[in-house]
Amino acid sequence: MSNKTMQTNPLLFNITLKLADAIADKWLTAMKKDILPYCVDGKIIVSSQVNKLQLSENDNESTYAVQFTFATAHIYNSEGLPALDKFLKLLDKQFANQYVYFTTKMEVLHFVSVPSDN
């Protein structure tokens, strides 16, 4: 993979979180209203989404994937860590010690989106 490809393709940063079902609704509301709107600025983080993992086990915990899209790997490398730190600080303001997480970083190689008729 060329250096040019790494600099021009979007970079997707994923944070997978596990939290108690008892706080899941409050957490999701906070993500939508209090946290993500302050993280997505259109310059460093250009979009975000929240996904709930559909796991077969029922252990009174919910698992979510919060994904942030950076326009390029270069922007992520120069500005990404402070932007993600801001996210974690906002999350900790309301939910400190109530979740565990791990992260993954992915280069977007291809993306197709078609409006749904539904």
Q: For position 24, what pLDDT does the model report?
A: 95
Q: What is the pLDDT of residue 7?
A: 52
What's the whole-model pTM score?
A: 0.85
Tokens for 92?
A: 């900790």
State the pLDDT at residue 108: 87
Residue 89 CA to residue 116 CA, distance in Å, equals 36
98 lies in which domain range? Answer: 3-107
Predicted local confidence at residue 4, as pLDDT? 47
- What phi and psi values does residue 27 have, to the nearest 5 degrees? -60, -45
pLDDT at res. 1: 46
72 inside domain? yes
Cβ neighbours around 78 below 10 Å, total: 12
**Inside any domain, residue 68:** yes
Tokens of 39: 């993280």
Distance CA 19, CA 13 (A): 19
Residue 18 bridge partners (DSSP): 63, 100
In a domain, residue 44? The reply is: yes
Q: Is residue 16 part of a domain?
A: yes
The closest alpha carbon to 101, from 7, 10, 31, belongs to: 31
In total, how many domains does the chain have? Answer: 1
Residue 36 structure tokens = 């993500």
pLDDT digits 0-9 by tens, 20-66: 999 999 999 999 999 999 999 999 999 999 999 998 777 788 999 99
Q: Please give the residue that has the higher pLDDT: either 56 or 19.
A: 19
Q: What is the CATH number of the domain that holds 75?
A: 3.30.70.100
Least confident of 44-48, 85-89, 92-96, 113-117: 113-117
Domain presence at residue 117: no
- Distance from CA of residue 50 to its chain's centroid? 7
Beta bridge partners of 12: 69, 106
